[in-house]
Amino acid sequence: MSQIRLYVTTDEAGAGRVLDALSELLGEAPYALATMEIEEKACIWEASVYLEAQEEDALRQVFDAALEIFTPDERPAVEKEIIPEIDWIAKSLEGLKPVRAGRFLVHGAHDRERRHTGDIALQIEAGQAFGTGHHGTTSGCLEMIDTVLKAEAPRNALDLGTGTGVLAMAVRKLRPIPVLATDIDAVAVRVARSNARQNGIVSGVDFVTAPGFHNAAFAEHGPFDLVIANILARPLMKLAPGVRANLAPGGSVILSGILETQRWKVLAAYNAQGIRHVRTYWREGWVTLLLKG
């Protein structure tokens, strides 16, 4: 099936507002949303949603509704890009170098020789799930995981919205503790499970397809000493009560997928649940938060 991208061009704040509005309107529907800076000096950004071509009419209506946050004079036009029918994710990542984040080195198979003594290597190939380490949210989470696990000894962990499974694997590489890794997308769960095996992790991580906290696996594995969620700001805010309910007393929470401009909204949602802010890492316009229950 052919894919397309619907997008608008605006400034950084406007792109963040569009992403917030789309996240709220789409809820837990499995669409890929993104913002990116396309012209640094002019501060021009795009906010996008990726979809199958046959879904265009329905998603245009959602996009139009999201743009009601603008006045008629400010409202940007929705544009369309047809995505070539190739493995475009792999194509876009072919030339990317390995990423170092804390003690972790995230690399593809062709860069195995770049591993150094002392590296905690995670081999992730371009594929059908989010999280190769190249995005500021993923690298920020890896650095925060390294920081937390140097200082704490959690008994278990939850990776909510696991994507490629890289964050769940990172925890397991550092500590031999049970990890529950969930995602709304069954394809991502299958990819994550395969990635774990490829990295020598054959036990200790339970990969489960689950939207939000609606699965018996949370009760079976929790409550959790460490919860990691690299999603988007709006879903993270909605998930705050669920995180609180599944967090062990004194547990740590790592959140990312949050634009700098959205930081205070997310913190407010978690503060309301009695989960306090400890630290923020800033990466490429995105933030990774460490909180404590």
**CA gap 169, 129 in Å, rounded:** 15
Q: Does domain 3-85 have CATH number 3.30.70.20?
A: no
pLDDT above 90: percentage of residues in the chain: 53
* CB contact set of 174 (below 8 Å; sequence gap of 6+): 103, 120, 145, 146, 149
What is the reported pLDDT for 288?
Answer: 94
**CA gap 181, 230 in Å, rounded:** 12
* CB contact set of 128 (below 8 Å; sequence gap of 6+): 89, 187, 188, 191
The pLDDT tens digits for 25-63 are 988 777 888 887 777 666 789 999 988 888 999 999 999
Q: Please say whether the beta carbons of 131 and 164 come within 8 A.
A: yes
3-state secondary structure of 3: strand
- What sign does the dihedral 61-63-67-73 (CA atoms) show? negative
Q: What is the pTM of this model?
A: 0.69
3-state secondary structure of 86: coil
Q: Which CATH superfamily is domain 131-292 in?
A: Vaccinia Virus protein VP39 (3.40.50.150)
3-state secondary structure of 32: strand
What is the reported pLDDT for 126?
Answer: 57
Q: Domains of the chain: which residue ranges?
A: 3-85, 131-292
3-state secondary structure of 164: coil
pLDDT above 70: percentage of residues in the chain: 86
What is the reported pLDDT for 136?
Answer: 65
Q: Return the higher-pLDDT residue of 22 and 38.
A: 22
Q: In angstroms, what CA-CA distances link 83 with 49, 87, 164, 221, 277?
A: 12, 10, 22, 40, 40
Band of residue 87 on the pLDDT scale cut at 50, 70, 90 = low
Q: What one-letter code names the amino acid at 282?
A: W
What is the reported pLDDT for 35?
Answer: 80
For 215, the token pair is 């699965």
Per-chain mean pLDDT for the chain: 86
Decide if 3-85 and 131-292 have a common fold.
no
State the DSSP code for 111: G
263 has pLDDT over 60: yes
